A = this chain, B = another copy of it.
Amino acid sequence: MNQRVFKALADPTRRAILKRLRSGSCTAGELGTLFPIRGASLSYHFNILKGAELVRTERRGMHIVYSLNTTVMEEVATVLMEMFGQSTDEGES
């Protein structure tokens, strides 16, 4: 889990994308219909999510399918828990 994860989670549109992906993989176009921004802007957000390894992509014919990388999300939650749950004096990755 890298530094970029926190930046990626800071934007509400990106969190909404992640939330949507939770209920199943989705093409870029489908996601585009859910938000009031242009495809190019979505693409910008996808790149940030990919950089944080929060999503994965796979081309399927004419479409590109996005899916959630739940592993990294769980890591984030775990790290936060370790950092702030109780003082074990450790917790940085």
Copy number in the complex reads 2
| Bound CA–CA A91/B83 (angstroms) | 22
Q: Is the interface of A mostly helix, strand, loop or mixed?
A: helix
Given contacts A3-B12, A10-B7, A10-B10, contact A80 B85 (CB under 8 A): no
> Which residues of A1-45 are within 8 A (CB) of B?
3, 6-7, 9-10, 12, 15, 18-19, 22-23
Q: Which listed residue (B6, B9, B83) contacts A22, Cβ 8 A?
A: B83
Q: How large is the interface on A (under 10, 10 to 19, 20 to 34, 35 or more residues)?
A: 20 to 34
Does A70 lie at the interface of the complex (its beta carbon under 8 Å from any beta carbon of B)?
A: yes
Does A73 lie at the interface of the complex (its beta carbon under 8 Å from any beta carbon of B)?
A: yes
B77 touches A84 (CB 8 A): yes
> Which residues of A50-93 are within 8 A (CB) of B?
68, 70, 73-74, 76-78, 80-81, 83-85, 87, 89, 91-92
B74 touches A77 (CB 8 A): no
